[in-house]
Structure 1
Amino acid sequence: MPSLCGAHTFPPPPTTFGAARVPDLARPTTTTRTGFLLVAAAAALWGTDGLFRFGLAEGLPGSTVVAAEHLILVVLMFPLLVRGARRARRTFSPGDVVALLLVGVGASAVATVLFTSAFAYGDPNTPLLLQQLQPVFAVLGARLLLGERLRRRFPVFFVAALAGAFLVAFPDPTEVGVAGAAPALLAASAALLWAMGTVLGRRLTAKVSFTELAALRFGVGLPAALALLPIGGGVQAATTLDGAAWLSLLLLALIPGLLGLVVYYRGLRGTPAASATLAELAFPLSSLVVNYVAFGAVLTTSQVVGVALLAGTIAVMGVAHQRRPEAAGVAVPTRSGRVETS
């Protein structure tokens, strides 16, 4: 996500599997070294999310973190919000307005509260690593929300991704308990909502630019995040935020957020989808390194297998999309112009 399309508030936006690309970017057919490195650098920046969010979630309700985060993002992107609102007023249909509301409330506010709350269980790795499920959920969302057709190979990818996610979620897969399932369910639910936001956002990026849509998303998400503040004593906690907390929130919005977004989309100009998908594997790697150095968090052997299985499945889907779109479970235009999903 994370980025503006879907991992935490800025999930790494899936570059394939039904995710929309920025409409004003030409799709490259060959990879440049600079483009590949920039995408990898952006993915590595997303991996620093836990460095800020984990510490905040340990001392604050998730609703407080998300409301403050949205406030900062709205302030930073206010000119884009105004421009996007004007364009949306001219071009959005009633269905588009509903889609924007679902993206802002569900994929921005609610999803980020769930994601942040998952860190409160003391494990900085699982919430981040389970965001690799987003591309798989996006394919299913395209099928359910847009009517795109799934082809025969997708169930194989889906089962492999779920198996990897299970191994990541439970350090000892032979001992599955309610306490261990809670953070995994919160993180997976966030990934599902972010994937929904990616799918619904596809119809909107034809009418507003990606940056304007991002600003609109946070503009709609801010009132929803404020409405969620009473959860877990968030209102009282918001009144006690000190300078250190605001600094962490600002860094969270700037580093894995806006900076990661700018670097990512600059890199996409010289990187085709399959190569970008491989470069994005820097996200789980950087997450593990950052969390180990900052918090001493390590994976069990079964979790390492789960990470490899989950990341490998997403990488194979990306490569298959580049070589043979109809085999990968991704959006494929038919002769009639209708988009299908393999």
Structure 2
Amino acid sequence: MTIAGRTSGETVVVAGAGRSSSSRGGRDATWLIAVSAALWGLDGLLRKPLASDLAAGTIVLWEHIIPIVVLAPFLPSALRAFVRLGLRDKAAVVVIGIGSSAVATALFTRAFTIAGSSGDFITPLVLQKLQPVLAIALAVIILGERLRPRFALYAVPALVGAWLLAFTDPLHLTVSELEPALLALGAAALWAVGTVLGRLVSPSLSPRHLTTLRLGFGTVGAFGVVGVTGAPVLPAWGDAIGLVLLALIPGLLALTLYYRALQSTPASRATLGELAFPATAALIGVLVLGTSLAWSQWTGLAIVAVTVTVMGVREARTRRGAVLGKTTVSG
């Protein structure tokens, strides 16, 4: 999921293509959306042992190196496509790679490590579900889109749900709970920036080229994260298998399946299928990783999941979306 939906600069971009493709009568693949989302939910299971042994910067670096090696055959054509872009689009691609991929993943990994030290492996994962709400707000700032009043019907419950989820006692905050929540929200905000900028450059780049460029510049950014944080470049051999699994399963494999499914799945159904992510993350957190959530946190999880789903279904089915402008961002 770190490379994919959090990645996520590309997922919503492709969703637009998915809607148009589905209108051409392709077979609905909501089940495949759910499979890819469930793979994202495995992130915590694979990340926990790595976060215990490795610095966040090291994990982030290899989460980028491994997929870009797999995508190396597509790198020359992606670079040629990048050279043909205008200055604005080039800058957007660089921000997607360095900011929305490398820095965002580093923030998320750090949040996961801190929260995990207190036994909560669910909150950083599920707070990512706020990304569509943040993307809509950022579309107003970056793309000049205008909000309808009903956007508050999505934003307010989502923020309330995030608050309840992030803190064991939402009325009494502690620094130990506040830091990972802010880091996770920072990561979600950067992934939302990637979504909006991805929309900006999507007319000029294919999804494959955008994914390859994102991982390529993300690798450069990840080396920067390693340099700034002083994290070691090379992991221990004992962590190599875990890094490969993390980069390729909830990373590249999930993203590839998601792209394929969106070619024939309406966005409204895709949003429902994506609920497999928080459900899987919660189940793994409770049953495998030993996380115990308070009743208020379970309530917050449900509010976030339901709000984002309702927003996605509503915005996909109406011609008068919550956002007015050149592009309507949907969950």
Match of 1:309 in 2: 303
Whichever residue aligns with residue 261 of structure 1, its letter is: L
1:262 matched to 2:262? The reply is no
- Distance, in Å, in 1 between the alignment partners of 2:92 and 2:25 is 34
Distance apart, 1:24 and its partner CA: 8.3
Distance apart, 1:101 and its partner CA: 1.2
- Distance, in Å, in 1 between the alignment partners of 2:94 and 2:258 is 26
Distance apart, 1:86 and its partner CA: 1.1
- Distance, in Å, in 2 between the alignment partners of 1:31 and 1:42 is 22
Match of 2:40 in 1: 46
What are the residue-to-residue correspondences of 1:278-289 with 2, within 5 Å?
278-289=272-283
Provide the alpha-carbon RMSD of the alignment: 2.3
Whichever residue aligns with residue 309 of structure 1, its letter is: I
- Distance, in Å, in 2 between the alignment partners of 1:183 and 1:229 is 20
What CA deviation, in whole Å up to 9, does each residue of 1:255-304 have, x standing for no partner? 11111112212222332111110111110000111222321113211011
| Alignment check: 8 A CA contact 2:14 2:259 kept | no
**When the two structures are superposed, what TM-score results if normalisation uses the length of structure 1?**
0.88
What are the residue-to-residue correspondences of 1:143-222 with 2, within 5 Å?
143-222=140-219
| Alignment check: 8 A CA contact 2:9 2:100 kept | no
Match of 2:77 in 1: 83
Distance apart, 1:96 and its partner CA: 0.8
Alignment: residue pair count: 326
In the alignment, structure 1 segments of 5+ residues that lack a partner are none
Distance apart, 1:26 and its partner CA: 3.6
Match of 1:93 in 2: 86
Distance apart, 1:242 and its partner CA: 2.2
What are the residue-to-residue correspondences of 1:27-38 with 2, within 5 Å?
27-29=21-23, 35-38=29-32
| Alignment check: 8 A CA contact 1:135 1:195 kept | yes
| Alignment check: 8 A CA contact 2:9 2:96 kept | no
- Distance, in Å, in 2 between the alignment partners of 1:231 and 1:98 is 22
Identify which of 265, 272, 280 aligns with 2:266.
Answer: 272
Whichever residue aligns with residue 67 of structure 2, its letter is: L
**When the two structures are superposed, what TM-score results if normalisation uses the length of structure 2?**
0.91
Question: Do the aligned partners of residues 26 and 340 (structure 1) sit closer, same or farther apart at CA in structure 2, a change above 3 Å counting?
Answer: closer
Distance apart, 1:31 and its partner CA: 9.4
Distance apart, 1:22 and its partner CA: 6.2
In the alignment, structure 2 segments of 5+ residues that lack a partner are none
- Distance, in Å, in 2 between the alignment partners of 1:199 and 1:12 is 7
Identify which of 96, 104, 119 aligns with 1:103.
Answer: 96
**Percentage identity across paired residues of the two chains:** 42
1:136 matched to 2:133? The reply is yes
**SS of aligned partner of 1:230:** helix
